[in-house]
Each structure stands twice: as structure tokens, then as C-alpha cells.
């Protein structure tokens, strides 16, 4: 039987990904939404989380897709009302708030799923398996996109807590940390801020690791050519290149075929994982990608660039 | 029998605190130092950690007091050579590197102690016991000091990773998080950067928690009057004020007498705790204070102030 789920925060990512993924799944039934700006056709809508929680005790799971800065209050209310919670990435505005949510979920025996959709990229597991047992020599990330195309008019990405270019960059870090067999840590960063904005539009990162390797990452939101989401991993036995955000993998230039489950897509797999977590009474809260970003903010050298306007 | 310990990084904090504390203790014998700028009178000195580790296999513990940006390499070398390690605060330049060190220590069955000297403040335990069972209404931190007095000419505090005013501010956060019975998380921050520097000279922080309370913190490094390190905690049953960085406690205006062990001081207690950790084969790596600081860098609104020169 399908589990009833509510979706809170009906913006671009909810419409593009969450709603179709839930609709296509036999595991889930979209039973209600929480939205201040109108919900979606044919689904019960509540203006506040409190209204949803009191009206619908039968809904056991809430998925939160609003911007991270306001997510904590919703998540806490849902957990305290005994509901399982899934968080879009990044799971919150601060590390401490997500740790505190995880503690509440654990105390109450509920599932908290801090999702990282890029970890469900079609070729993530294949890449991880291929790397197993190989010596990694270097890693190079290029995550170059056009903010105007992916966040049209979304001023929240430029507000404190909005992460700026780390909003896409954290996808690269979530994918990479899933694929790598060993950890890394940041040693230097340069963050470029538009003169009129509070978050960076570009970032260059240097890491020590995995193992004896070094990792470089270049994130840029000013890229109006081909959108590039690529990770190049050189090993002692060939080079793997993840591209299209992990949807494609090539080894020494030759494309690797995707498995059958790759067809279902990142978000359908996320919701599949959520169902498994609830079935097995587990949580999945890995703050690793967010820790690398917080480290970059703390350690980064700040530079100033031209003002940005949508 | 005293354990042999080596001290790496012979700067102001080593001379002011570590060396006298080790010298005064029956638990410890300062067997060597690692220093590029000359060690201390009457103690064997090595120019590099590698030289120390190969010359002195009998030294089982290494205490690291150099600035955080260079600490990881020393710590890792010491752990990989089978030595227990104590880290001055903050334990590193990034959260990820300290997590990685903790993993190495655990794999090898070694003690890693990420020390927070302010948690050993004379009145910390008394304050914690007093708060137990009381409802906290609000917390207010004022940590106001003169950077010229405490870090004379130390340009590293202004370099990326040097933390700026969070170098003292993290002491307040380490003390507070030891004293509070429940967690908090940052919700807003304003960081003030001197026009010519990479780290903030002042910070204002707002937290949700503990519980239903709110916490405010004001850190300022431009304070040339009375140096102020105070935490004011209002509860449903009176007000506690920790001052002098936790050396003094007053409840509703009346001073509380310190216990007998308070006389020994923060650093002697840190080294006592280190001995206990090693005796009981445990580590103590609480990243909480550093997580709040990383959160402040990630979430903080940046403002610019007058240039700073020593």
C-alpha cells in the first residue's frame, strides 16, 4: 500500500522533480501540500505546517523543499508531531540545526533523511565500484553553470545562508564523497563575491585527499556556454570521468553503459531510498558535503567581482 | 611514573600555559620540543616532527600548540607514528581535517584530545550543576577584548583560517556548550571585517536554544577598556553570570565560592584530563564550538569596517 506523504514548499524544484517522482511511484501517494502561494491542482493544500499536522494525522511523512533558511522550523514541527522527514539539499542553513534535528528524530524513533540527489546520479555506484582498490592520483571537479538559467530571479541564493555557487557546488561534493573510498579535507579556498551580494558567485577549492591525492574544484555561476558538471579522477589504472552531474561515466575515454535502474532518475531513487529508510527504521544524515562548504566559508580567501543582477 | 610528552610549536601560548602546567604536574615530563625558532632552555629540541618521532620512540604523547592552519600535518604524522595527540583550540583549520584525524586515532587505538581550555574554567562545572533542572529563558554572551594585547603583531589571526575575533569567541562557545544542558543553533550572524583583513574583527550572533530560549553573542576585538568575558544566563529561578571567562560565577548578584580544584587552573586541568583519557583509552573530540563558528562564517552577513593595523 502506498504511504501518504505531504510536500511542503511548492517551488521550482518541487514541480520539476518531487511531484513527478512521487506521482510515478507505487510507494507513495501525495496526500497534501503546505504552501503559502497556492498548492497544486487536485491536491489538498494547507497554508501552514501546523494546519497540515493537525488536520492530517494519517500522513506519516513530510518532504521539505523550501529554501534551507526556513526549513528547520518545519522539520522540527513535523518530527515533534511524530512524522518522518525528508530534507532537500542542503539539509539546513547550519550544521548545528541539522544535528539537532537528527537528535530529535533519534529520540523519537523517526526517520530523518537529509537527501543529496546527486548521490543518486545514474553512474555514482558504477564509479564507486570502479574506484575500489585503485590508487587515486588526483581529482578535478568542474561545475560551471549559469545562475540565470537555474535560479531565475531567485534572490534567496544571494542572501546569507543561500550558499551562492555552493548551491550547485555542494552537489558535486555530495557526489564525489559518495564515490571516493577515502576522505579528503579542504586546505585552501578562494571565494569570489559580487560586490553587491552576500554569497559567492565562484569558488576555487583545494583539498588534501583522498589518500595521498589532491583534489581541486572549480565552481562558477557565470558560465553561459555548455553547462558543465564533471569530475575527473586519475588513478594508477586509468582515468574515470563523471559528466552531466554523474549521469554519464567514461573510463579512459570510453563510455560505460548505465545499469537498468539508472533509467528511473535521481529523485525517484531518492524516494525509493526514503521508503527503505522508513521500512527499516533508519535515518540517513550525512553532513559531509555541508561540512566541506562550511570549511570553505571559514577558510576561504574573499575576493570581490563585478556586481550581479538577474 | 610521569609520562613523557613532547610539545610542538613554542610560541606565546606554549610559554604562558603549556610549559608551566606540564612542569607543575607529577603526571608529565616534558621530554622534548619541536620548534623551528629555537626551543626552551634545558629541553631537547627538534626542528621537525619527523626528527622528533624517529629520535624519540619513547615519547608517547605529543601536544600541538602551533596556529591551527599547520596543525593537521603534525598531528597526522604523530598519530601514524603511534603517539597520542593533544590539540590546542581550535583543533584545526577545518572540521573535515579534525574528523579525519579522529578516524585515524580510532583506527589505531590512540587518544586524540581536541582541547577547549575554557571548558576547564574554574566555575564551569558549578554553573552546569546549577542550571540542571532550571528553565533557561535567555543567554547573553559578551566577549570583548583588545587584539593588540592578546595577539601582539600576530598576523596569522587575520589570515584565512586564523578565525579573527572567533579565536577568542570560540572560547565563549566552548564554555557555554559545556555549561548548557541542551543544544542551540545559529540563526543569524553579522561579521565585521576590517577593510584590509581576511577575518572578522567583530561578530554578532543569534541562536535558537537552548530549548525555548534565545542566545545572543557579541564578540569584539576593538575593546581597549576592561577586558570582558562574560555569559549571563537568565532562568525561571534566578540569573547566573559567568565572568572572567568562567573563573567567576555569581547567582542573583552573589558570588559563588570556587571548589578546591579550581585553584589549579585551566591548563593543569586540561593536562589532567589528557592523562585520564590515555589511561582509559578514550578520545575527546567535540567539534561543537567549531561547528557554531563554521555556521557563522557560512550564514553570516558581511560588513566592512576601518582597516586594522597592529
Q: What is the predicted ipTM?
A: 0.95
What pLDDT does residue B265 have? 92
The Cα of B1 is separated from the nearest Cα of chain A by a number of Å equal to: 38
pLDDT band of residue B263 (cuts 50, 70, 90) is: confident
Contact A299 B189 (CB under 8 A): no
Report the top-level CATH class of B121-253+293-305: alpha beta
The answer on pLDDT for B237 being more than 90 is yes
Size of interface A-B (CB pairs under 8 A): 105
Chain B residues with CB inside 8 Å of A288's CB? 96
Closest-CA residue of B relative to A190 is B160
Give me the pLDDT at residue A237, please. Answer: 96
Q: A124: number of CA atoms within 13 Å, CB side?
A: 21
Q: What string of H, E and C letters represents the secondary structure of chain B? A: CCEEEEEECCCHHHHHHHHHHHHCCCCEEEEEEECCCCCCCCCCEECCHHHHHHHCCCCCEEEECCCHHHHHHHHHHHHHCCCEEEECCCCCCCHHHHHHHHHHHHHHCCCEEECCHHHHCCCHHHHHHHHCCCCEEEEEEEEECEHHHHCCCCHHHHCCCCCCCHHHHHHHHHHHHHHCCCCCEEEEEEEEEECCCCCCCEEEEEEECCCCCEEEEEEECECCCCCEEEEEEEECCEEEEEEHHHCEEEECCEECCCCHHHHHCHHHHHHHHHHHHHHCCCCECCCHHHHHHHHHHHHCEEEEECCCCC
Q: What is the pLDDT of residue B259?
A: 77
CA distance A191 to A217: 12
Q: Which residue of B lies nearest to A69 if distances are taken between CA atoms?
A: B187
> What residues of chain A have any CB closer than 8 angstroms to a CB in chain B?
72, 93-97, 99-100, 103, 160-161, 163, 183-189, 193, 198, 208-209, 288, 291-295, 297-302
8-state DSSP, A223: -
pLDDT on residue A259: 77
- Residues B193-203 have a mean pLDDT of 97
Question: Which residue of B174, B195, B285, B298 is the best one to mutate when testing the A interface, meaning the one whose CB has the most A CBs within 10 A?
Answer: B298
Flag residues of chain A having pLDDT under 50: none
Q: Which of A86, A32, A28, A82 is nearest to A55 (CA)?
A: A32
Chain B residues with CB under 8 Å of a chain A CB are 72, 93-97, 99-100, 103, 160-161, 163, 183-189, 193, 198, 208-209, 288, 291-295, 297-302
Residue in A closest to B287 by C-alpha: A96
Query: Taking residues B248-276, what's their average pLDDT?
Result: 91
Q: How far is A93 from chain B (nearest CA, A)?
A: 7
**Tens of pLDDT, residues A65-103:** 998 888 999 999 999 999 999 999 999 999 999 999 999
CATH of domain A3-114: 3.40.50.720
- Smallest Cβ distance to B185: which of A94, A185, A294? A94
What does the radius of gyration of chain A's CA atoms come to, in whole angstroms?
19
Looking at beta carbons, which residues of chain A come within 8 Å of B165?
A: none
Of B94, B185, B198, which is closest to A295 when you measure between CB atoms?
Answer: B94
**B21 pLDDT band (50/70/90 cuts)?**
very high
Q: Would you call B89 a catalytic residue per the annotation?
A: yes
Pairing mode of beta strands A136-144, B254-255: unpaired
All 3 cell numbers of residue B98?
A: 579534525
- State the Cα–Cα distance between residues B68 and B90, nearest whole angstrom: 7
pLDDT of residue A22: 97
- Active-site residue, from B12, B89, B178, B206: B89
pLDDT at residue B37, as a whole number: 80
Say what the pLDDT of residue B222 is. Answer: 97
Find out whether the peptide bond into B123 is cis, omega within 30 degrees of 0.
no
Q: In this predicted structure, what is the pLDDT of residue B69?
A: 86
- Locate the chain A residue with the closest alpha carbon to B299: A161
- Closest chain A CA to residue B189: A160
What does DSSP assign to residue A134? P
**For residue range B50-109, what is the model confidence (pLDDT) as tens digits?**
999 999 999 999 999 998 888 999 999 999 999 999 999 999 999 999 999 999 999 999
- Cross-chain Cβ contact A183/B95 below 8 Å: no
Query: Torsions phi, psi of B38, nearest 5?
Result: 90, 140
Per-residue DSSP letter, A254: E
Q: Do domains B3-114 and B121-253+293-305 have the same CATH topology?
A: no
Q: Residues of B with CB below 8 A from A161's CB?
A: 298-299
Helix (H) or strand (E) segment spanning residue A49? helix A49-55
Instruction: Pick the closest to residue B74 from B23, B33, B28 (CA basis).
Output: B33
- State how far the Cα of B162 lies from the Cα of A197, in Å rounded to an integer: 24
Question: Of A150, A7, A162, which Cα lies nearest the Cα of A69?
Answer: A162
Extents of the domains making up chain A: 3-114, 121-253+293-305
Can you give the pLDDT at residue A260?
72
HSE-CB at A114 with a 13 A cutoff on CA atoms is 25
Nearest Cα residue to B269 out of B277, B258, B261: B261
DSSP for A103-129 reads HHHHHHT--EEE--GGGG-TTHHHHHH
A115 and A88 in contact (C-beta within 8 Å)?
A: yes
Gap between the Cα atoms of B5 and B271, Å rounded: 11
Check: CB of residue A240 under 8 Å from CB of residue A251.
Answer: yes
- Tell me: pLDDT of B261 over 80: no
pLDDT score of B1: 77
Nearest to A3 by CA among A70, A63, A75, A60: A60
For range B228-247, the mean pLDDT: 97
- Name the percent of chain B lying above pLDDT 70: 99
Give me the active site residues of A, please: 89
Q: Which is nearest to A199 in space by CA: A45, A68, A59, A72?
A: A68
Closest CA to B151 of B92, B159, A34: B159
Q: Which helix (H) or strand (E) holds A251?
A: strand A248-251
Nearest CA to CA, how far is A45 from chain B (Å)? 28
Question: What are A191's three cell numbers?
Answer: 571565494
CA distance B260 to B262: 5
Closest CA to A137 of A227, A240, A49, A45: A240
pLDDT value at residue A263: 72
Measured between CB atoms, which of B184, B288, B302 is closest to A198? B302
Contact B298 A94 (CB under 8 A): yes
Residues B173, B121: contact at Cβ < 8 Å? Answer: no
Alpha-carbon gap, residue A249 to A255, rounded angstroms: 6
Residues B252 and A305: their CA atoms lie apart, in Å, by 52
> Which residue from B291, B297, B302 is facing A96, i.e. has the nearest CB?
B291
Per DSSP, A244 falls in state G
Amino acid at each position: 500500500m502506498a504511504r501518504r506523504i505531504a510536500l511542503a514548499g511548492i517551488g521550482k524544484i518541487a514541480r520539476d522533480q518531487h511531484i513527478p517522482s512521487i506521482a510515478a511511484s507505487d510507494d507513495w501517494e501525495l496526500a497534501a501540500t503546505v504552501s503559502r502561494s497556492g498548492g497544486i491542482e487536485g491536491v489538498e493544500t494547507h497554508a501552514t505546517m501546523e494546519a497540515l499536522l493537525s488536520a492530517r494525522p494519517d500522513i506519516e511523512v513530510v518532504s521539505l523543499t523550501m529554501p534551507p533558511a526556513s526549513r528547520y522550523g518545519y522539520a522540527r514541527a513535523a518530527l515533534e508531531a511524530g512524522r518522518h522527514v525528508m530534507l532537500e539539499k542542503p539539509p539546513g542553513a547550519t550544521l548545528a540545526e541539522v544535528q539537532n534535528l537528527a537528535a530529535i528524530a533519534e529520540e523519537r524513533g523517526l526517520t530523518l533523511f537529509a537527501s543529496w540527489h546527486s548521490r543518486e546520479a545514474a553512474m555514482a555506484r558504477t564509479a564507486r565500484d570502479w574506484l575500489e582498490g585503485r590508487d587515486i592520483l588526483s581529482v578535478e571537479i568542474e561545475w560551471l553553470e549559469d545562475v540565470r538559467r537555474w535560479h531565475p530571479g531567485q534572490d534567496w541564493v544571494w542572501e546569507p545562508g543561500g550558499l551562492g555557487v555552493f548551491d550547485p557546488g555542494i552537489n558535486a561534493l555530495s557526489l564525489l564523497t559518495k564515490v571516493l573510498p577515502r576522505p579528503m579535507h579542504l586546505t585552501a579556498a578562494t571565494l569570489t563575491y559580487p560586490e553587491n551580494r552576500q554569497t559567492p558567485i565562484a569558488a576555487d577549492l583545494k583539498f588534501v585527499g583522498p589518500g595521498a591525492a589532491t583534489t581541486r574544484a572549480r565552481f562558477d555561476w557565470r558560465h553561459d556556454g555548455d553547462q558543465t558538471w564533471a569530475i575527473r579522477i586519475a588513478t594508477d589504472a586509468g582515468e574515470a570521468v563523471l559528466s552531466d552531474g554523474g549521469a554519464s561515466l567514461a573510463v579512459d575515454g570510453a563510455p560505460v553503459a548505465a545499469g537498468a535502474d539508472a533509467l528511473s532518475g535521481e529523485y525517484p531513487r531518492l524516494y525509493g531510498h526514503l521508503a527503505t529508510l522508513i521500512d527499516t527504521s533508519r535515518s540517513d544524515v550525512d553532513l559531509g558535503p555541508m561540512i566541506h562548504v562550511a570549511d570553505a566559508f571559514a577558510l576561504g580567501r574573499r575576493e570581490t567581482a563585478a556586481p550581479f543582477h538577474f
